[in-house]
Amino acid sequence: MTATTDGNAGGPVPLAPAAGTGRRHRATVPHDLEEAAARATERATTHLLALQAPDGWWKGDLETNVTMDAEDLLLRQFLGRLDPGTAAAAARHIRAGQHEDGAWPTFYGGPGDLSATVEAYVALRLAGDPPDAPHMARAAAWARTRGGIAGCRVFTRIWLALFGWWRWEDLPELPPELIYLPRWFPLNIYDFGCWARQTIVPLTVVSAKRPVRPAPFPLDELHTDPADPAPPRPLAPLTGWDGLFQRLDKALRVYHRFAPRGLRRAAMNSAARWIVERQENDGCWGGIQPPAVYSVIALHLLGYDLDHPVMRAGLESLDRFAVWTDGPDGPVRMVEACQSPVWDTCLATVALADAGLPADHPALVKAVDWMLDEEITRPGDWAVRRPGLPPGGWAFEFHNDNYPDIDDTAEVILALRRVRHPDPARVGGAAARGARWTLGMQSRNGAWGAFDADNTSALPNKLPFCDFGEVVDPPSADVTAHVVEMLAHEGLAADPRTRRGVDWLLAAQEPHGAWFGRWGVNHVYGTGSVLPALTAAGLPPSHPAIRRAVAWLGTVQNEDGGWGEDLRSYADPAWAGRGTSTASQTAWALIALLAAGERESEPVRRGVAWLAGTQREDGSWDEPYFTGTGFPWDFSINYHLYRQVFPLTALGRYVHGEPSPGGSP
């Protein structure tokens, strides 16, 4: 595969290869592949064990894009807490991600993104970078050619409105009275996915209050026409949802001027109670940065001073999202959007077990101890749709008891069952509760979403306010596959609910043979999730769906022996399975092929050779590409531990064989 420079990106962009082509040359398979794979497995095991925390968990950095860093500085400026050291360290990280043409992308090697560029520019201005500095002038010029501030998404313009750089009147309305909509009514807050729900509730307060802090500098250079920064947008025809919601927004603008004061005040107080009730023990909200940021702003606007225990805990939790490193010019500060210790720990446990570590190894026992302590035993927002379901399961983060997720729960149970723990009754009880909760979260169509059951309304995505990423949580192939695989290993392969999940997966297969990956990039991830589930559930490798998937993986293998898929596959189907080879995506393809009985096939041998040949001396792999997904195309993630746990899983299964359903140690 060759690389070029995209005029929109200003950085290296991998070209989509034709089927069967890859990076520069066709790799050769060494004669001693078995030995090479065993050595690579041993080195990777040693490296991963060294990364375990003393308490038993693993956590890799979760890298997203510079909007996290920019919005963190904007929050501190809004609250009057921005200090020069933090601003300078964040600015070093932000500058490092700028492309030569002046823009910032949202993922490595991706095209420039207007909203990310505008937010990065403003953050650097807050850090003291002058507008006439060459890198700043390039950024402003690039932004103007793409429409300037007026062309940015709503969330970016909200941040700018906080300082008077954009008018609140030119933003979609989001009334706090939304909190009163009953659960059966369209567009009630539980129609939104949990991440959107936690963000929208505090933003209703911000939208009603419309605060403006004095702007520390003008931003005329980011407007295409400073004299007319917000030209009116034409109304869409009433025949479609866009036109209907545009007119609803106009009606809500009128309502904003005449809303009964008592009702509005009561709605904002109800929103505040909703927010405070969902603050986690560590001070955060939902374990993710955006809801925490907006919750802090909303509560501050409602009179919570910065020394209030709720506010103090919230601000301290945001500090914990910062990753500090040493750079050549001084400290560098990157802000994580989220932290993934439960996810990383269960994946690391499975990888080490697959690599042949003894089932009672102290590192695995310690990991299970930590995961057991993280079990969630009280109801959360999921109980709105499943009020009679007993709690159970696990979340993604250190603290997020309100929002356990189905994906983590399935993978944690798979990990628990791979370890010989000194208290098997405790492990069995936690696994049984998690499996019961997961079965209860099955959606009506037989599949599973990530956080809620039947969170499938089409209306939230139509709102003018929701112009960035997914705001609902419908079932997906990757989550459903992980659940089916877990249920099969729990001895429930023949359960009618498991069979409904299998039927849904078979119906969801794409025409080319792959499955769409909602939470990982993309069809390689989906296929790597589904094939192990289908075979664990009893489908033979000869099943037509499995053969189509195997054939597809063969057609998209790169010449170098690896697999890769660029994030552009979410926006352009021609990119499905196409991209520079990466360690995690190569591992996903191998996991799928090994589950399908393809161990001796040429694609597997070449893929294993690629992993063994690209491993670094310390047992790790290099992977700058983003292979995790927050919102397809809109928000991408580089999980820094993916490059370690998935290759080790694939190599371990190649060397030691597949785990068998029900095969508890």
- pLDDT of residue 18 exceeding 90: no
What would the pLDDT profile of 166-203 be if each residue is shown by its tens digit? 999 999 999 999 999 999 999 999 999 999 999 999 99
Candidate list 405, 407, 473, 478, residue with the active-site label: 407
Fold of 65-225+235-335: Glycosyltransferase (1.50.10)
Q: Is the separation of the CB atoms in 332 and 92 below 8 Å?
A: yes
Nearest one of 340, 368, 398 to 60, comparing CA atoms:
340
Whole-number pLDDT of residue 17: 41
For strand 628-631 and strand 330-335, is the pairing parallel, antiparallel, or unpaired? Answer: unpaired
pLDDT band at 220 (very low <50, low <70, confident <90, very high): very high
**Whole-angstrom distance, CA of residue 335 vs CA of residue 69:** 5
* CA dist., res. 659 & res. 653, Å (int): 8
Q: Is the pTM of this model over 0.75?
A: yes
Q: Within the chain, which residue ranges are assigned CATH 1.50.10.20? A: 30-60+340-441+476-656, 65-225+235-335
Asked if 341 and 398 count as a contact pair (C-beta separation under 8 A), the reply is yes
Q: Looking at residues 430-453, what average pLDDT do you find? A: 98
How far is 25 from 86, CA to CA, in rounded Å?
Answer: 45
Fold (topology level) of 30-60+340-441+476-656: Glycosyltransferase (1.50.10)
DSSP 442: -
- Nearest 5°: the CA angle 613, 615, 616 is 125
407 annotated active-site: yes
Per-residue confidence at 239, pLDDT binned at 50, 70, 90?
A: confident
Residue 267 has pLDDT above 90, yes or no: yes
Query: According to the model, what pLDDT value does residue 26 have?
Result: 64
Res 4 pLDDT > 60: no
pLDDT tens, 564-600?
Answer: 999 999 999 999 999 999 999 999 999 999 999 999 9
Query: How do residues 462-490 score in pLDDT, each as one tens digit?
Result: 888 888 778 999 999 999 999 999 999 99
* Cβ count within 10 A of residue 376: 22
Average pLDDT, the chain: 93
% of the chain residues with pLDDT over 70: 95
Mean pLDDT across the stretch 286-305?
95
pLDDT (average), residues 127-144: 98
Does the pLDDT of residue 10 top 50, yes or no?
A: no
**Confidence band for 662, pLDDT divided at 50, 70 and 90:** low
Q: Residue 227: its pLDDT value, please?
A: 83
